[in-house]
Structure 1
Amino acid sequence: MTSAAEQFASNLSFGSFARAEELKKRLLFTLGALIVYRIGTFIPIPGVNPGAFSELFQTQTGGLLGTFNLFSGGATERMAIFALNIMPYISASIIMQMMAAIIPSLEAVKKEGESGRRQINQYTRYLTVVLALVQGFFIATTVAGQTSPSGVPIVGEAGTVFLVTTTITLLGGVMFLVWLGEQITARGIGNGISLIIFAGIIAELPRAAAGLFASGRSGALPPVIVVAVILIAISLIAFVVFMERAQRRLLVQYPRRQQGNRMTQGEKSHLPLKLNTSGVIPPIFASSLLFLPATAASAIGNDAPIWLQNLTGSIGPGSWAYILIYGAGIVFFCFLYTSIVFNPEDTADNLKKYGGYIQGYRPGARTAEYIDYVLTRITVIGAAYLAFVCLMPEFLRMNYSAIPVYLGGTSLLIVVTVTLDTVQQIQGHLLAQQYESLIKKSKLRGARR
């Protein structure tokens, strides 16, 4: 039997959407902000020859650089002002969350409520500036001494002025995207940071699909493999939707209460635990760790140690080392991030505060131990699910390197999860609009009486 809320949600229609003026404004604002972002991915950095760099990029597109280009929406390939995309901010936010779980002073700030959250966000921005400066300087120094395969210099005048302006430009691009993402979250629909990555991947997917079919026509990929990639992508999308909506519900019982002379019946509720509490953070952060050796080797240039060059070459996409490190990183960060965002002790304390309890377990420490027991076991399933989705296409790429990196499991995971989250928020706004209209009608009827 469906609940009243589910029946109410099923009554939502296009008519209710047409009456939701606030929702339409938010959707238009989100669309406009994403268009601004996409325009920025085509504006080249001053002093860089985009054609020469694109020619050089094509020789390395199958490696880690191609994966980084995936998250930037093609801006890296065009050496645009948004070449770093939002990745420094994501890395900074994850680092701050881990530090808040380790450092007692930051943990105390985090528990101060809204003011503590704003303070942590400010620290995250400061760390983003540092990471963006370092990565921007690495990119500037790497590009300054490069030439295209045809011998055309990528930078006309690779001097100090170019290094400074390029570093500042890339930093400005990152901070503008951080601001734009926050504006989308506050004034639009969905999580702004996730939507920026989502928009970049979606924009590159048609070209990736066209490249897949072109490889099939040219003979670079057997037709059977092309069909297999399409079927695997469709199956992974359906699998991700199923797993992202999966929950483990713990039955919570509330005792009977006396109101005046009447005794109210005890209520029952559920504590939902998502199978994948960490979302898309583990694969994104595991990918960023794999970028570190390549970034360091590029920054050092021809003077890079032999061991670093060998390491960079051995952990490229399609290799066993890449699959093992990537899979282990996903599992590790899945457990780590879940422990950061969900605290069983805080949850048990909140249940105890409001009189709720899980049958068979005493409120307080025993309830926290049981919640941690259940959470650990479903996180094992969630980590295995994330690793499977992200690594499944990589096994094909080991034998068929012509498969575009854009059709990988990580990109499909991000697209599906962000879509589900955005649709859920749209449904929430429609429900709120429906409730407001019902309240207004009830007030008018009461006034007539």
Structure 2
Amino acid sequence: MLTTLKNAFKIKELRRKIFFTMAMLVVIRLGSQLPVPGVDREAFAAWFAARTGDAFSFFDAITGGSFENFSILALSISPYITSSIIMQLLTIAIPKLEEMQRDGEDGRKKIVAITRYVTVVLALVQATAMVIGFGMQGYLVEYNALNVITAVAALTAGSAFLMWVGERITEKGVGNGISIVLVINIISRLPQDLGRLFEQFVYGKAPATAILAVVIIFAIIIAMVILVIILNGGVRKIPVQYAKKVQGRKMVGGQTSNIPLKVNTSGVIPIIFASSIMQMPIIICSFIGYEGTGVWGEILKGLNSSYWCVPSQPIYSIGLLVYIVLIVFFAYFYTSITFNPLMIADNMKKQGGFIPGIRPGKPTSDYLSKVLNYIVIIGAVGLIIVSVIPYFFNGVFGASVSFGGTSLIIIVSVILETMKQIESQMLVRNYKGFLED
């Protein structure tokens, strides 16, 4: 990885792209400190401090502290991520969008434009709900129409600005812009989280205990990173043989290829979906100021990850079991709508391809579905392990940190993907140099 970056800096074009990306990231970090007009930041900071460890912790992590500061970037790129997922699902359900996707570059541009509009609408809705909810609880300097409109406009504009920055990084930077914006926000919170762990398990402890704690902390982090890398790179290759055919006087075809099926076919989407469903009731109740009493209060505690794996309160860990079931469900659901074995089998049949030992057509489709089902459960188990480990240590040892398995998967996946893009750009640059010579 370091070698790739070192070689990239030797190429003027790539060096310019890297510096542009870094400049945009600096702008983002500066924007995360700009307050929303009309918000009582001290009162809001006190409210947030009382909720450290609950559903808002991960939300604050992906916003890079912007939510805790209630800055103009408090919504981060969450509306864009949500709109992208919605458009991806609608592309499967709406034939018109599916046709756009098949139209090549023009169709892709139209879908991107629609995604932008949906992002602005979602940002407007989320900003309105957030400002009105917090305003009713007294976290605005003065709860009136002008302050509400100003705050909503600032939050919506901040989310749209981050979307624009992400697209500029994709266009003029190293690529993968939206993901890089998300990752820099998560990484910006890591020093604070590591500082908390140091104060809790290392500072003031006996030397032997402190050293052991440091070793255990870094061993767990390294093990999780390795697991994520394995999970992200795991592929099952299905061999495909193409029959020979006569074209003119020549015999063509007969080559061997493969269908790469990723072990983690759905990426981090199942965890995001599962977390969103579990956290949504808590966030809504916080916006309206409902603390939860009786049965509903107990249900909210079960949905709250800060109560999971706590030895003195095992009943709330039922929420963790629900979370695991949701991850498995969404892993299968998302894979089923993004990977179509029947379409692949039909395309193979049209091109004269077949899987050795499997008849073309429906038998091939059934075989791909069977293999995919095995792969999906392996990927889902890997996601569960990575996402549950932080909850276990948070509950058993009280290691309260904002980042978890989801953040780690996002960081590792985006870094690996970005390095691949830089390597591909270096390869293209070398090809250009060879052709010019």
Q: Please point out which of 224, 236, 239 is paired with 1:251.
A: 239
Q: Indicate whether 1:425 and 2:421 are aligned.
A: yes
Gaps of 5+ in 2: 309-316
Structure 1 SS opposite 2:69: coil
* Cα drift, residue 384 of structure 1: 1.0
Provide closer, same or farther for how the CA distance between residues 257 and 29 of structure 1 changes in structure 2, counting only shifts above 3 A: farther
* Structure 2 equivalent of residue 283 of structure 1: 271
Q: Is this contact kept in 1: 2:134–2:288, CA < 8 A? A: no
Q: Indicate whether 1:312 and 2:282 are aligned.
A: no
CA deviation string 1:61-118 (max 9, x = no partner): 1111111101111111100111111112212222232233234454444444434433
Q: Is this contact kept in 2: 1:138–1:298, CA < 8 A? A: no
Structure 1 SS opposite 2:388: helix
Q: Is this contact kept in 2: 1:17–1:430, CA < 8 A? A: yes
* Cα drift, residue 267 of structure 1: 1.3
Provide closer, same or farther for how the CA distance between residues 342 and 186 of structure 1 changes in structure 2, counting only shifts above 3 A: farther
Equivalence map 1:437-448=2 (5 Å): 437-441=433-437
Equivalence map 1:1-20=2 (5 Å): 17-20=8-11
* Structure 2 equivalent of residue 201 of structure 1: 186
Take 1:184 and 1:34, find their aligned partners in 2: how far apart are those partners?
9
* Structure 1 equivalent of residue 353 of structure 2: 356
Q: Indicate whether 1:210 and 2:210 are aligned.
A: no
Q: Indicate whether 1:326 and 2:341 are aligned.
A: no
Take 2:223 and 2:7, find their aligned partners in 1: how far apart are those partners?
33
Structure 2 SS opposite 1:361: coil
* Structure 1 equivalent of residue 87 of structure 2: 96
Q: Please point out which of 50, 59, 72 is paired with 2:50.
A: 59
Take 2:5 and 2:129, find their aligned partners in 1: how far apart are those partners?
50
Bigger drift between 109-118 and 342-351 goes to 109-118
Provide closer, same or farther for how the CA distance between residues 403 and 16 of structure 1 changes in structure 2, counting only shifts above 3 A: closer
* Structure 2 equivalent of residue 27 of structure 1: 18
Equivalence map 1:187-198=2 (5 Å): 187-198=172-183
* Structure 1 equivalent of residue 314 of structure 2: none
Q: Is this contact kept in 2: 1:247–1:275, CA < 8 A? A: yes
CA deviation string 1:248-289 (max 9, x = no partner): 011111233446545457211222111111112221222222
Take 2:48 and 2:205, find their aligned partners in 1: how far apart are those partners?
20
Q: Is this contact kept in 2: 1:293–1:311, CA < 8 A? A: no
Cα RMSD, aligned residues only: 2.7
* Structure 2 equivalent of residue 46 of structure 1: 37
Take 2:107 and 2:337, find their aligned partners in 1: how far apart are those partners?
16
* Structure 1 equivalent of residue 156 of structure 2: 171
Take 1:355 and 1:28, find their aligned partners in 2: how far apart are those partners?
48
Structure 1 SS opposite 2:67: coil
Bigger drift between 211-220 and 133-142 goes to 211-220
Q: Is this contact kept in 1: 2:38–2:141, CA < 8 A? A: yes
Q: Is this contact kept in 2: 1:243–1:276, CA < 8 A? A: yes
Equivalence map 1:94-173=2 (5 Å): 94-146=85-137, 154-173=139-158
* Cα drift, residue 36 of structure 1: 1.5
Provide closer, same or farther for how the CA distance between residues 15 and 315 of structure 1 changes in structure 2, counting only shifts above 3 A: closer
Q: Please point out which of 392, 397, 400 is paired with 1:400.
A: 397
Take 2:436 and 2:246, find their aligned partners in 1: how far apart are those partners?
32
Q: Which amino acid is the alignment partner of residue 141 of structure 2?
A: G
Q: Indicate whether 1:296 and 2:284 are aligned.
A: yes
Gaps of 5+ in 1: 1-11, 148-153, 442-449
Q: Which amino acid is the alignment partner of residue 45 of structure 1?
A: V
Structure 1 SS opposite 2:273: helix
Bigger drift between 35-44 and 364-373 goes to 364-373
* Cα drift, residue 206 of structure 1: 1.1
* Cα drift, residue 55 of structure 1: 2.8
* Cα drift, residue 220 of structure 1: 10
* Structure 2 equivalent of residue 266 of structure 1: 254
* Structure 1 equivalent of residue 370 of structure 2: 373
Indicate the percent of aligned positions where both proteins have the same amino acid: 39
Take 1:99 and 1:75, find their aligned partners in 2: how far apart are those partners?
31
Take 2:145 and 2:393, find their aligned partners in 1: how far apart are those partners?
44
CA deviation string 1:29-74 (max 9, x = no partner): 2222222211111111011233332233111111111111011111
Q: Which amino acid is the alignment partner of residue 130 of structure 1?
A: V
- TM-score w.r.t. the length of structure 1 is 0.86
Provide closer, same or farther for how the CA distance between residues 158 and 362 of structure 1 changes in structure 2, counting only shifts above 3 A: same
* Cα drift, residue 169 of structure 1: 1.3
* Cα drift, residue 343 of structure 1: 2.0
* Cα drift, residue 170 of structure 1: 1.1
Q: Is this contact kept in 2: 1:182–1:192, CA < 8 A? A: yes
Q: Is this contact kept in 2: 1:46–1:166, CA < 8 A? A: yes
* Cα drift, residue 351 of structure 1: 2.7
Provide closer, same or farther for how the CA distance between residues 14 and 204 of structure 1 changes in structure 2, counting only shifts above 3 A: closer
Take 1:411 and 1:208, find their aligned partners in 2: how far apart are those partners?
12
Provide closer, same or farther for how the CA distance between residues 89 and 322 of structure 1 changes in structure 2, counting only shifts above 3 A: farther
